[in-house]
Amino acid sequence: MNITTENILLIGSILLLLSIIFAKRAFKFGVPTLLLFLVVGMLAGSEGIGGIHFDDPKLAQFIGLVSFNFIMFSGGLDTNWNSVKPILKEGLALSTIGVLLTALSLGGFVWLVTDFTIYESMLLGSIVSSTDAAAVFSILRSKNLALKTNLRPTLEFESGSNDPMAYVLTISFLTLVINQDQSVASIIPIFFQQMILGGILGIAFGKFSKLCINKLNLDFEGLYPILVIALMFATFSATDAVGGNGFLAIYICAVYLGNQDLIHKSTILKMFDGLAWLMQIVLFLTLGLLVFPSQIIEVAGIGLLIAVALIFLARPIGVFLSLSPFKMKMRRRVYISWVGLRGAVPIVFATYPLLAGIDKANMIFNIVFFISVTSVILQGTTLSVVADWLNVGLPEKPVAANDRYILDLPKSAMKEVLVKPNSFAVNQRIVDIHFPQTAFITMIKRDGNFVRAGGSTIIEANDILVVLLDNEDSLKQVNEVLAGNA
């Protein structure tokens, strides 16, 4: 069956429904949902029961880039800076030096056991050098895995920030494969240009995006997430156009925005969470359609050997050496090494050699696909078991069925707070007074009427704020904000 403009919506909707249904069933048995999306795509593909012919690496790469934007941006928005600050140095070491060491050590192994040239080997090592944000975020959060002492923020920050490094390495070694006359030294300036411009423009676009979100009066709440999507793509494309790393820029931009006071922030976060799941499903379905299972079987032997080397050799080398300057218990290092999940990112990166037309491109793609599936099956299904074995997990708290309906807001106490005429907050929007995170304005009593409180709501003199609080101490913070002493 060929995909046409007439049947694409029907085929797409059926695949989405099947993926969601199978994923719900598989989750009960501990099978990573992302693996199910891949399997559904493979079953629907040209060699599966669906018979859908899809062999377009360029389109798959485009879908991958768009999906990465949403997945990385959503992960950045959900990153709590207060939880990241204590592990920032460790996270940066893992996402830069750790990725480089993983790529080089695996590349060296591939060069020893295959007939790949040294640059082809390093290209393969670079493609699978980073952990996959979609895989790590979805598996850790779907399992609701509780980990000790900043371990989970370390893993999520690493997975969200290490793709830019892997991307630069992939492009650099692909350039060396194509242009055999160039030296390794020639790619060093490109590396620093990508990372420096990506970092600077990420911060700049983050501040610009906050200004746009809070200053533009769009009248309709539903337009704000669309505005953020436009800003997200502008950040990526503009950074990429000037030679910077777009992936790094959008992640930094998203982390900045996620820790700022924004109008309709809750709506933006919820929409991006849903879009990130949609993009994960679409991405894994697309990659499942793109692969030919018969070709994967042909490289199963060498693929398994390289996968084992990555999991038990290259990844530990990258983790242990990059974390060697930091004080950390060995079992924590071992667990970080084990959560080196590969997923869609390496598979999309593997389309670059395909489009470049290098000799071993098809073999590299199939080996990378095999490694990613092996990683998700072996590591993704054992995260809880290994956490218990290494004693880095925390006892899971049982969640009552009704808890899902409880508002995720401060709710230990409720107070009514009068806004005095001389208050700092008078004639200010709620988003501009930097209300404490431990408090939430649910409603405003004004002239005998109730006014719904939103980020753009302007506070007036003699308003009575109905505030939900984490605890009684939060009331002091609220009074300090209203008095202008925060």
Asked if the structure places residue 398 within a domain, the reply is no
Report how far residue 329's alpha carbon sits from residue 114's, in angstroms, rounded to the nearest whole number: 36
pLDDT (tens digit per residue) in 110-150: 999 999 999 999 999 999 998 877 667 666 665 555 566 67
Residue 115, pLDDT score: 92
CATH, residue 417? 3.30.70.1450
Domain co-membership, 222 together with 76:
yes
Cα–Cα separations (whole angstroms), residue 90 to 208, 385, 386: 29, 24, 21
Any domain includes 46: yes
Q: How many CA atoms lie within 13 A of 212 on its CB side?
A: 18
pLDDT of residue 316: 96
Query: What is the per-residue pLDDT for 433?
Result: 81
Last-in-domain residue among 357, 389, 421? 389
Has residue 418 got a pLDDT over 90? no
- Sign of dihedral through CA atoms 419, 421, 425, 428? positive
The verdict on residue 282 lying in a domain is yes
380 and 437 part of one domain? no
DSSP state, residue 484: T
pLDDT digit string (tens) for 457-486? 888 888 888 888 877 777 888 888 888 754
In a domain, 397, yes or no: no
In tens, the pLDDT along 422-446 reads: 888 888 888 888 788 778 788 888 8
- Whether 269 has a pLDDT exceeding 60, the answer reads yes
State yes or no: pLDDT of 307 exceeds 90.
yes
For residue 265, the model assigns a pLDDT of: 87
Is residue 467 within 8 Å of 439, Cβ to Cβ? yes
* Whether 290 and 431 share a structural domain: no
pLDDT of residue 234: 97
Q: Which residues contact 32 (CB under 8 A, 6 or more apart)?
A: 26, 135, 138, 139, 376, 377, 380, 381
Can you tell me the distance from the alpha carbon of 57 to that of 84, in angstroms, rounded to the nearest whole number? 36
pLDDT for res 401: 47
Query: CA 225, CA 175: separation in Å to the nearest integer?
Result: 38
| Residue 31: per-residue pLDDT | 55
> Residue 435: its pLDDT value, please?
80
Percent of the chain clearing pLDDT 90 (strictly above): 35
Query: Residue 146 is encoded by which pair of tokens?
Result: 């509780």
- Take residue 285 and report the two structure tokens written for it: 């379905």
Which residue, of 334, 357, 389, is where some domain finishes?
A: 389
Least trusted range by pLDDT, from 22-26, 228-232, 243-247, 434-438: 22-26
Q: How far apart are CA 198 and CA 183, in angstroms?
A: 24
H or E, element range at 372: helix 361-378
DSSP structure string for 393-458: B-PPPP--GGGGGS-SS--SEEEEEE--TT-TTTT-BGGGTT--TTEEEEEEEETTEEEE--TTPB
Report for 58-62, 301-305, 385-389: range of highest mean pLDDT: 301-305
**pLDDT above 70 (res 309):** yes
Q: Decide: 170 and 346 in contact? Cβ < 8 Å.
A: no
Q: How confident is the model at residue 232 (pLDDT cuts 50, 70, 90)?
A: very high
* Maximum CA extent, the chain: 81
Based on the fold, state whether residues 290 and 141 are members of the same structural domain.
yes
Q: Residue 38 belongs to a domain with what CATH number?
A: 1.20.1530.20
Predicted confidence (pLDDT) per residue in 7-55, tens digit: 677 777 887 787 777 666 655 544 566 677 788 888 887 777 777 778 8
Is 2 inside any structural domain?
Answer: no
- Same domain for 210 and 333, yes or no, is yes
Same domain, 429 and 289: no
Final residue before a domain boundary, out of 389, 423, 440: 389
Q: How far apart are CA 372 and CA 356, in angstroms?
A: 22
Residue pair 264/18 in contact by the 8 Å Cβ criterion: no
Summarised one tens digit per residue, pLDDT across range 341-363 is: 887 889 889 999 999 989 899 99
Torsion-angle region of 357 (φ positive above 0: left; ψ -120 to 50: alpha; else: beta): left
β-sheet with 464-469: strand ranges across: 413-418, 464-469, 439-446, 449-452
Q: Is the pLDDT of residue 227 over 90?
A: yes
Tell me, yes or no, whether 325 and 437 share the same domain. Answer: no
Q: What is the mean pLDDT of residues 312-320?
A: 96
Same domain, 385 and 417: no
The whole-angstrom separation of Cα 443 and Cα 446 is 10
Question: Phi/psi at 29 (nearest 5 deg)?
Answer: -100, 10
What is the predicted pLDDT for the residue at 405? Answer: 44
Pair (204, 118) in one structural domain? yes
- Assess if residue 38 is contained within a domain: yes
pTM: 0.81
Pairing between strand 413-418 and 464-469?
A: antiparallel
Q: What is the pLDDT of residue 256?
A: 94
Whole-angstrom distance, CA of residue 298 vs CA of residue 212: 52
Same domain, 308 and 445: no
Q: Is 484 left (phi over 0), alpha (psi -120 to 50) or beta?
A: left
- For the segment 40-94, what is each residue's pLDDT rounded down to a tens digit? 888 887 777 777 778 888 888 899 899 989 988 988 898 888 888 888 999 999 9
Domain count, the chain: 2
**Per-residue model confidence as pLDDT tens digits over 145-196:** 556 667 888 888 888 788 889 999 999 999 999 988 787 788 888 888 998 9
Structure token digits, residue 163: 């793709």
Banded model confidence at residue 397, pLDDT cuts 50, 70, 90 = low
Q: Do 250 and 324 fall within a single domain?
A: yes
Calculate the alpha carbon distances from 72 to 116, 197, 205, 300, 351 in Å: 32, 18, 15, 30, 19
- Give the structural domain span for 208: 8-389
For 384-417, give one letter per residue: b (16+ CB within 10 A) or e: bebbeebebbeeeeeeeeeeeeeeeebeeeeeeb
What is the pLDDT at residue 404?
Answer: 45
Does residue 402 lie within any of the structural domains?
no
Whether residue 400 lies inside any domain: the answer is no
Instruction: Please write the tens of the pLDDT for every residue from 188-207.
Output: 888 889 989 999 999 999 99
Q: What is the pLDDT of residue 114?
A: 93
Same structural domain, 433 and 312: no
The encoded tokens of residue 129 equal 């050098």
